Amino acid sequence: MLSGDFFDLQSFTCDDCEVARQNCTAIVTLNVNHPIYNGHFPDNPVVPGVCQIQMVKELAEKAVNQPLNLKESDNVKFLLMISPVQNPYLEINLIIQHVTEKLISVTASIASGASLFLKFKGKFEFAD
């Protein structure tokens, strides 16, 4: 779990425009002093891609109020590197659609201002 250590959740809102679909927005603050940056990379810290996907997963879990497992990632595009020094505040947008009783589709993006860092589309299943 990265929330509370790697990043802090400043705000989180979801509008339930339909039962089967949610639009959620999170504002997070990155912890620039997190030990992961000692190895990724000491003089030029960059948020690892796996951490970006984990943040999307944790926020999707918060939206559906259940633990999730990543089942497949249809499309993942890392467009720009995220420097926690230059971009400590991130906006993460999610569109969550229920596919079946146990499966959701998540389309997400991570941005800061005009900079778009990640575009993600994948499926998560509810953990047993």
Cβ(14)–Cβ(23) under 8 Å? yes
Q: What CATH number should be reported for the domain holding residue 21?
A: 3.10.129.10
Q: What is the pLDDT of residue 20?
A: 78
Query: What is the count of structural domains for the chain?
Result: 1
Q: Which residues fall within 8 angstroms of residue 87, CB to CB, at 6 or more apart?
A: 30, 112, 115, 117
Q: Is residue 80 part of a domain?
A: yes
For residue range 70-87, what is the model confidence (pLDDT) as tens digits?
999 999 999 999 999 999
What pLDDT was estimated at residue 84? 97
The 10s digit of each residue's pLDDT in 8-65 is 999 999 987 666 789 999 999 999 999 999 998 888 999 999 999 999 999 999 999 9
Quick check: is 1 in a domain?
no
Report yes or no on 90 lying in a domain: yes
Specify if 53 maps to a domain: yes
* Residue 2 included in any domain: no
Query: Could you tell me the pLDDT band of residue 128, with boundaries at 50, 70 and 90?
Result: confident
Range of the domain at 83: 7-126
